[in-house]
Amino acid sequence: MMRIIVAPDSYKGSMSSAEACAAIESGVKDYDPSYHIESIPIADGGEGTVEALVTILEGEIILEKVFDPLGREVTAEYGWINETKTAIVETAAASGLPRLKEEELKPSAASTYGTGQLIQAALERGAKRIILGLGGSATVDAGTGCFQALGVKFLNDEGKELEMNGKALQHVTKIETDTISELSNQVEWIIASDVTNPLLGPEGAISVFGPQKGVSAAHLTEFESGMERYASVVEQHTEKVVRNYEGSGAAGGFGFTLFSLLENLKVESGFELIAKQGELEKLISDADLVITGEGKIDTQTLYGKGPIGIARLARKARVPCIAFTGKSEGDMRRAKDEGLLSVLPIVDEPMTLKEAMESGPELLRKASRRCMEIYHLKQGKGEIHK
Amino acid sequence: MMRIIVAPDSYKGSMSSAEACAAIESGVKDYDPSYHIESIPIADGGEGTVEALVTILEGEIILEKVFDPLGREVTAEYGWINETKTAIVETAAASGLPRLKEEELKPSAASTYGTGQLIQAALERGAKRIILGLGGSATVDAGTGCFQALGVKFLNDEGKELEMNGKALQHVTKIETDTISELSNQVEWIIASDVTNPLLGPEGAISVFGPQKGVSAAHLTEFESGMERYASVVEQHTEKVVRNYEGSGAAGGFGFTLFSLLENLKVESGFELIAKQGELEKLISDADLVITGEGKIDTQTLYGKGPIGIARLARKARVPCIAFTGKSEGDMRRAKDEGLLSVLPIVDEPMTLKEAMESGPELLRKASRRCMEIYHLKQGKGEIHK
């Protein structure tokens, strides 16, 4: 019996990684329902992290009414593993880009307050461990909104408490951290992120990720200097300099404030956290075939953590690994060196990008079935008509 | 060493079958240059028949200046096999739809005269056998233009010779066949066609194929009755009734006049002729894999002769067979019963039909390489990094 590990990332705008798992699984079962398939949705700390970890750890989804990046009440989710009292929160859930339409992007006003509300709710539920996935936020508030929701006070030069967002950073002259929710200091924090950017400079939060969150070219230096002033205030307060730590620039500077204000904190690669929790290495070494994928696979992917992380585990275990994608771009030869033996498109006839995104699950299902058909061509001449 | 037979039909509007062979071959060689590949372009008697047979029989292409369907001088080709003095002529070459823009379609004026000129040229070169591929003509002149070029006289009720085309058929009251080019009676004729329609009626040349040659709905009955009158005149002359023969409706009634006026004539399925000449059955039975294809594969294809003919030969030999296509439509499950184990799309990302057609050879090459990658996934875990 054939054993297949299905471990795709999300196909952004079309399918979550869990949906992609279901589509691939269903295509394989179309070909032969008897195959043994293990599905592990993967993510990098950003959108999909909660879904991936809740699936792997067989936890549950908790819904909370919190604020979106612009302070509108929305329902957002976090993951809960009751056995270990672990909460999984991703910044993308309450404070993420998908919460805003393109024309609503407003980095000066956007806040991670809602993420703090989710964490506070998890703490009140009795969380002993918080896994916080960074990535995909619509904010450049350095996570101050989140910490405000947890009780930290950010004050201006008149000693007045500020309402925190991207613009308010420049007005912070003092912070009060002894007001932080007591619970938050009693838990173990795991920051899941595959972003390694520092807080400031050309590789920092504003320069690299600002534009996608709505920072216009004209305002880049203004946001950058506000962030820098904020960093100095915090570093003076904590007497720790973390602005150049790997990942302090993640999620609009969220990493910086986490590293500055939390004690009991560990940083892990989002992908590796999921791989470890899912015991992916062991699962893969027992498999005959590994199937991964992502909406778009390009040379960037080859340096990333999702499908290439999976391919590397497969290469290590000497198990063949392939990926399905909506679009591949650039030279894929290096993919082979990383263990990705084939990158297979899912589009099956001329169609627009919109049509392809809308029918993603069906295209992926059919592509998986075709792949099984070819994979089995060699089962011997005498057996071709099962 | 792996042995692959590549035998696609044409991808109409994008690649001839010979070009498709080259693209598939190049994709397979991209994967492993050591494979043994035999390419057999296939065709059904229509466009591509000359190219396919000349490739298989290692003949040459002869160019002639002849008339297109509207009497304009063009250069058209026929195939020549010197060893057996065999000429291969297809009606599509001089008198085919590709000769006219859509707005030039004019069935009343269109004539197969140019096809007759090609045949006459081949006869003068010393042909002992004429293989005439029927199909894809822009004409409904019942092949009278062709026979006029070969010397047959079509007369009206005043005894005047008519210039033959779709409209002139209704004015024919007498034909003179003793004026036919002497050479044409001394050769062996093989009519290659996969069309089985009779001359008249709802399944006939006008009803089924008239519209694609430009016969408007309003003129269908007029052309039909002209054709019927012509058929009666010919049948009276020959004292043979062939209007209901299978294929007498091929190429706008061309079959009817061929069956009526030629003695030394054999009809073969275009596909089978090519398969036989190429010794396809033997080649396939020695192969590990057969690759076929066509621009579009739909339920119609499953009843046709091209890729399904190949698949049936493969099924008989118990060799796996797959097809590449630009677009598949309808339920492909029956394809498996016919021996076509997988129908693989060549489009590899969202794109328009026009883009797909323009980059057909490149898409087909890449699809073939991907297919080889999957086909070889099972070569054993230890060998995945060649």
User: Parallel, antiparallel, or unpaired: how do β-strands A86-90 and A129-133 relate?
Assistant: parallel
A293 and A167 share a domain? Answer: no
Answer yes or no: are the C-beta atoms of B377 and A289 closer than 8 Å: yes
The pLDDT of residue A359: 96
CB-CB under 8 Å, B374 with A378: no
Of A21, A43, A151, which Cα lies nearest the Cα of A88?
A43
Mean pLDDT of A249-274: 93
Q: In this structure, which amino acid lies at residue B305?
A: K
- Residues 6 or more apart in contact with residue B241 via CB below 8 angstroms: B235
Domain edge (last residue) among B270, B300, B325: B270
CB-CB under 8 Å, B381 with A318: yes
A153 and A182 share a domain? Answer: yes
CB-CB under 8 Å, A351 with B350: yes
CA end-to-end distance (rounded Å), chain A: 15
B104 and B247 share a domain? Answer: yes
How large is the ipTM? 0.78
Indicate the average pLDDT of chain A: 93
Flag whether B335 is in a domain: yes
Percent of chain A surpassing pLDDT 90? 82
B10 and B92 share a domain? Answer: no
Of A353, A335, A338, A368, which Cα lies nearest the Cα of A12?
A353
> Please, which residues 233-292 of chain A have a Cβ atom closer than 8 Å to chain B?
289
The pLDDT of residue B337: 87
Best B28, B297, B334, B348 residue to mutate vs chain A (most A CBs within 10 Å): B348
Answer yes or no: are the C-beta atoms of A144 and A251 closer than 8 Å: no
Q: Is A315 on the interface with B (CB under 8 A)?
A: yes
B31 and B78 share a domain? Answer: no
Flag whether B236 is in a domain: yes
A148 and A18 share a domain? Answer: no
User: Parallel, antiparallel, or unpaired: how do β-strands A129-133 and A153-155 relate?
Assistant: unpaired
B240 and B114 share a domain? Answer: yes
The pLDDT of residue A12: 87
A304 and A232 share a domain? Answer: no
Helix (H, G, I), strand (E, B) or coil at A323: strand
Neighbours of B98 (CB within 10 A): 13
Answer yes or no: are the C-beta atoms of B290 and B320 closer than 8 Å: yes
Which residues on chain A are in Cβ contact (under 8 Å) with B326?
Answer: 349-350
Flag whether B96 is in a domain: yes
Q: What is the DSSP letter of A140?
A: -
Checking if the pLDDT of A167 tops 60, the result is yes
CA end-to-end distance (rounded Å), chain B: 15
Q: How far apart are CA A159 and CA A175, in angstroms?
A: 10
In chain B (386 residues long), the average pLDDT of successive 10-residue segments reads: 92 92 96 93 87 92 97 97 97 95 95 98 96 94 97 96 96 94 87 93 95 95 97 96 95 96 91 91 94 90 84 94 93 85 95 95 97 80 44
The pLDDT of residue B378: 67
Mean pLDDT of A217-244: 96
Radius of gyration of chain B (CA): 22
The pLDDT of residue B332: 78
Q: Is A159 on the interface with B (CB under 8 A)?
A: no
Flag whether B307 is in a domain: yes
Answer yes or no: are the C-beta atoms of B94 and B119 closer than 8 Å: no
Best B378, B383, B385, B386 residue to mutate vs chain A (most A CBs within 10 Å): B378
Neighbours of B303 (CB within 10 A): 10
Residues written for chain A: 386
A335 and A283 share a domain? Answer: yes
A132 and A242 share a domain? Answer: yes
Q: How far apart are CA B211 and CA A226, in angstroms?
A: 72
Checking if the pLDDT of A380 tops 70, the result is no
A148 and A203 share a domain? Answer: yes
Distance of CA A374 to the CA centre of its chain: 33
B353 and B209 share a domain? Answer: no
CB-CB under 8 Å, A344 with B374: yes
Mean pLDDT of A273-292: 93
Q: Which domain holds residue B327?
A: 3-40+285-383
Using CA coordinates, name the residue in chain A closest to B326: A349
Using CA coordinates, name the residue in chain A closest to B337: A385
Match 């407003």 to its residue by tokens. Answer: A106
* pLDDT, greater one: B64 or A186: B64
Cβ burial of B300 (10 Å; 0-12, 13-18, 19+) is exposed
Flag whether B280 is in a domain: no
Give the pLDDT confidence of B67-81 residue by residue, as tens digits: 999 999 999 999 999
Which residues on chain A are in Cβ contact (under 8 Å) with B378?
Answer: 320, 375, 378
Distance of CA A93 to the CA centre of its chain: 10
Strand partners for A133: A90, A192
Of B384, B369, B322, which Cα lies nearest the Cα of B35?
B369
pLDDT band for position A191 (cuts 50, 70, 90): very high
Best B374, B375, B376, B378 residue to mutate vs chain A (most A CBs within 10 Å): B374
> Please, which residues 338-357 of chain B have a Cβ atom closer than 8 Å to chain A?
339, 341-345, 347-353, 355-356
Q: How far apart are CA A170 and CA A226, in angstroms?
A: 4
CB-CB under 8 Å, A352 with B350: yes
Kindly report the CATH number assigned to the domain that includes residue B227. 3.90.1510.10
Q: What is the DSSP letter of A104?
A: G
As given in the structure block, the two tokens for residue B170 are 């209704």
Of B292, B343, B355, B349, which Cα lies nearest the Cα of A343?
B349
Domain edge (last residue) among B207, B240, B270: B270
The pLDDT of residue B19: 95
As given in the structure block, the two tokens for residue B128 are 């002992």
Checking if the pLDDT of A270 tops 80, the result is yes
Domain edge (last residue) among A231, A250, A270: A270
Of B29, B57, B28, B30, which Cα lies nearest the Cα of B41?
B57
Using CA coordinates, name the residue in chain A closest to B376: A375
Flag whether B73 is in a domain: yes
Flag whether B276 is in a domain: no
Q: Which of A23-27, A152-156, A178-182, B65-69 has the lowest mean pLDDT?
A: A178-182
Which residues on chain A are in Cβ contact (under 8 Å) with B351?
Answer: 347, 350-351
pLDDT band for position A54 (cuts 50, 70, 90): very high
CB-CB under 8 Å, B370 with A375: no
Flag whether B278 is in a domain: no
CA of B375 vs chain A CAs: smallest distance (Å)? 5
Q: How far apart are CA A285 and CA A313, in angstroms?
A: 8
Kindly report the CATH number assigned to the domain that includes residue A360. 3.40.50.10350
Answer yes or no: are the C-beta atoms of B176 and B149 closer than 8 Å: no
CA of B287 vs chain A CAs: smallest distance (Å)? 10
The 3-state secondary structure of B95-155, one letter per residue: HEHHHCCHHHCCCCCCCCHHHHHHHHHHHHHCCCEEEEECCCECCCCCCHHHHHHCCCEEE
Helix (H, G, I), strand (E, B) or coil at B321: strand
Mean pLDDT of A113-141: 96
In chain A, the number of structural domains is: 2
Q: Is B63 on the interface with A (CB under 8 A)?
A: no
Q: In this structure, which amino acid lies at residue B215?
A: V
CA distances from B377 to A32, A297, A381 (A): 18, 20, 18
